[in-house]
Chains A and B, each alone.
Chain A
């Protein structure tokens, strides 16, 4: 054998090996992503639930207190009054406080001090938090919706994507790239918070630099800079956990700040940077003119988008080539939800009408619509609709490979836009490049649409340790992007490719088993349909088909089967045993009715979100009555039957310390899943396949 032939053989062999790893990694990725998007879908169902609440809101019903409780803006509404409310001056910093002390106006030293403190896991005192946030709010109010920036001759601008509370990534970027300054301008493209555990620290550092270098640090709003999203994805919890006394105030101030964050940055009139993306309707002139802070909670208007989507539905199912359903058959259950018929009106209008009927209109009657700087209710006109849509599109959209522009049903907001839309919008505005974030990319960045759209994502190890690198962009006056990639955490740099893939994979499988567990009863019913003679066994093909029908995640179940099912005989699955093996909870609750337990577990993240909304004083607990009402409403929405007695029992057993109220965290703790089932399974999905082929 010649050395050339030898080299050829080895190269071929090794490339095959790497490709199989890549396949596994991609599969794992798909698992995480589909669960993540299913979670976002859940969010939509939650909003539908609120729509359902609105439909069933009658003046006489006892639920009205609950609902007005949720939606009522029961506080002062002028900025001056807000300033008084947020005042930090009365908050004393005790002698015992060992964290950093800040002086104002903010200086570079102050921010450095802050970073050092956070590196050493110290927490900033609430007084200083409110102070920084107050200053930030004041500054943001004078910033325009779109920041126009130019890159000077021998300068480069740095652009970062999603950070999601990953402090170590931000610090790594600063370490590699240098701190922000007038010589080193930065753009941060949204999604600073949620998921990671240092969302607040990231915000404080970014705001600190913003205050010190307001002309050189630019923040764009992301879809997670939204207090309703924060209720679900962890930021609210983080704040309340860290600041038990002042958390509520901090959250309220943050709500204001988020609504005042600018929406876009444009570099040299050529490069547009927004968090999500664009749509075929995107018009920067319109966006420049909106009152961005009045278009509150983009997410709260999802109901309206629902009705628009009903029109899309008809268009899409006609098989238009531009339709891009994620999977065939339509698995997005938006179609199957009990969607209200009354969605053509504005939510705010309906709220007002009902409140008037209920005699609750005082607080709204007093609001002065002429106050231009107050947070008065939007008028609900056509223009408002369009403005709202423009903003949501900027924050929520994703690119797609085909031409066209269709609603983004996976996220529930914004759209999917194609290369033709990119060309048209960029040309119309005389731009040459769109930089956006919003989607996690394995290498931290990715081009699409003929390199006219660039996604940048800066949270490494987003799904799990080893799942992806983060990246940031440096760009000089020539406007050519250069990428720097990284991956935080020492441990994961030391892992070989194989090891990191394995690690991520195990984590994905764990997440998947949880999903399977929560759908236990539905799975059993689905399996039983394939087993009319009650043998307890079904074929692998049926197992895969039933599982997909129930879970609706669009995953390759046959491929995953060796990882998930131990008990097969001659190609048949003993499904009862399999379900038993999956995993069990250790509920602290002694409830005889296990089906309630299951329903609760299945909806626990929705429940948690609802609880946090109900808990308007952010005390961390809700009353029995609130719990009862919520549960009744949710169960009628889910069309399950639950008796008053059962709910009362449930509430009592959840009240662990017997004080007549339910501690939310304790409640959620009760549903932590205990995973028993990892019993030395092979971790290679494709072993089976290879053996088959040889």
Chain B
């Protein structure tokens, strides 16, 4: 997918716009340049950003059309462009993520029990819903031992979420 790296700022900007529009269009069911506000998080994440829930709330407040429940491309595009060009919600470096897991793994076992992870994910920080938690456990737990080997999981999920 190597596109030429000698891009002028202009080309780079237009590419960013195209990327944003394509992601937006995926959820634009009626092809009228609006998406449901509940899909905005997915769109922003899919563009490679890692906002927190608080970040998302702030962003949405900026671009939503007066609590209509819809967000129009006209407002989304400039806001999102800014986010991308300024790298506002950068990815989490692998080592930091590993550190986070190690902090939760108080006994230094090298893995987390489902109950341990559940406790933190559903009670601390920006808590998961029950559905989110169930899905996480199904997806990340080792099938035989039913524990989460976080080092493996980090590597697995880093670039390619497939298998």
Contact = CB atoms under 8 A, between A and B. Distances in A.
A562 B45 CA distance: 20
B115 to A, nearest CB: 15
Interface in A14-68: 14-24, 26-27, 30
B120 A693 contact: no
A689 B162 contact: no
Interface stretch (B25-33, B57-65, B73-81): B25-33
A556 B30 contact: no
B86 to A, nearest CB: 12
Contacts of A13: 50, 92, 97, 157
A10 B100 contact: yes
Interface string B119-159: 01100111110001001101100000000000000000101
B82 to A, nearest CB: 14
B125 A8 contact: yes
B1 interface: yes
Report which residue of B27, B97, B124 has the largest number of chain A beta carbons within 10 angstroms of its beta carbon.
B124
B2 A4 contact: no
Interface stretch (A174-182, A429-437, A457-465, A680-688): A680-688
Given A13-B157, A22-B46, A23-B43, 18 more contacts: A4-B125, A6-B104, A11-B128, A16-B45, A19-B44, A20-B161, A23-B45, A26-B42, A30-B26, A324-B30, A324-B31, A401-B29, A498-B139, A558-B22, A687-B160, A692-B1, A692-B48, A693-B84
A97 interface: no
A1 B97 CA distance: 11
A326 B31 contact: yes
B163 A497 contact: no
Nearest to B105: A6
A317 B77 CA distance: 26
A17 B161 contact: yes
A556 B18 CA distance: 10
A684 B161 CA distance: 7
B163 A9 contact: no
B41 A19 contact: yes
Nearest to B140: A14
B42 A693 contact: no
B10 interface: no
B110 interface: no
A565 to B, nearest CB: 10
| Pairs A-B, 7 closest by C-beta atoms | A19-B45, A693-B48, A7-B125, A6-B100, A23-B46, A7-B124, A8-B125
Interface string A573-603: 0000000000000000000000000000000
A381 to B, nearest CB: 36
B100 A496 contact: no
A684 B162 contact: yes
A4 B124 contact: yes
Given A684-B161, A684-B162, A687-B160, A19 B30 contact: no
A9 B47 contact: no
A16 B18 CA distance: 21
A342 interface: no
A690 interface: yes
Given A18-B135, A683-B162, A6 B120 contact: yes
Contacts of A20: 45-46, 161
Contacts of B121: 7, 10-11
15 contacts: A5-B125, A9-B92, A13-B157, A14-B136, A15-B41, A17-B161, A20-B46, A21-B161, A324-B30, A496-B139, A497-B135, A562-B1, A571-B3, A682-B160, A687-B160
Interface string B66-110: 000010000000000000100000011000110111011000000
